[in-house]
């Protein structure tokens, strides 16, 4: 019984010590992505335009606009500046010092991405949506 408890504690300790619990994370700012801002403006314009007229030409125009907006939303391309790194408090405390305790510039790790061969661009999933990164 004591052996099992000791092995369980040892296993839990190894898992907790090996986990990157103190690492910062990359966050996404949708307002810094021109493609998402354009999509938001298009949705607002579509809602406004749908209330104006119900004539035949207007319905055809609305259908054309919706199809164009779906095509625009299918692929989202954002600049790399739309992602920012938020370091943990521990990272700032330990990595912000140089060799002898003097302050040095903090550098964020590289943004980990996948690569799409068809579009030849890196991407990252944000809330289940694939965001392509340019630049």
pLDDT at 13 over 70: no
Domain segments of the chain: what residues?
Answer: 23-134
**22-46 mean pLDDT:** 88
> Residue 74's pLDDT is what?
86
Q: Which residue has the higher pLDDT, 127 or 91?
A: 127
For residue range 41-82, list pLDDT tens digits in order. Answer: 988 888 888 777 778 888 888 888 889 988 888 888 999 899
The mean pLDDT value of the chain amounts to 79
Q: What are the two backbone dihedrals, phi and then psi, of residue 96, each rounded to the nearest 5 degrees?
A: -80, 0
């Amino acid at each position: 019984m004591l052996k099992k408890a000791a092995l369980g504690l040892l296993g839990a300790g190894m898992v907790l010590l090996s986990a990157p619990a103190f690492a910062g994370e990359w966050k996404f700012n949708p307002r810094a992505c021109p493609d998402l801002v354009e999509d938001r403006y298009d949705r607002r314009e579509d809602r406004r335009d749908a209330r104006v007229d119900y004539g035949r030409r207007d319905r055809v125009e609305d259908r054309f606009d919706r199809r164009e907006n779906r095509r625009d939303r299918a692929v989202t391309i954002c600049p790399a500046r739309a992602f920012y790194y938020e370091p943990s408090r521990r990272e700032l405390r330990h990595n912000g010092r140089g060799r002898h305790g003097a302050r040095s510039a903090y550098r964020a790790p590289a943004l980990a991405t996948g690569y799409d061969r068809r579009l030849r661009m890196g991407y990252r999933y944000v809330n289940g949506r694939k965001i392509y990164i340019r630049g």
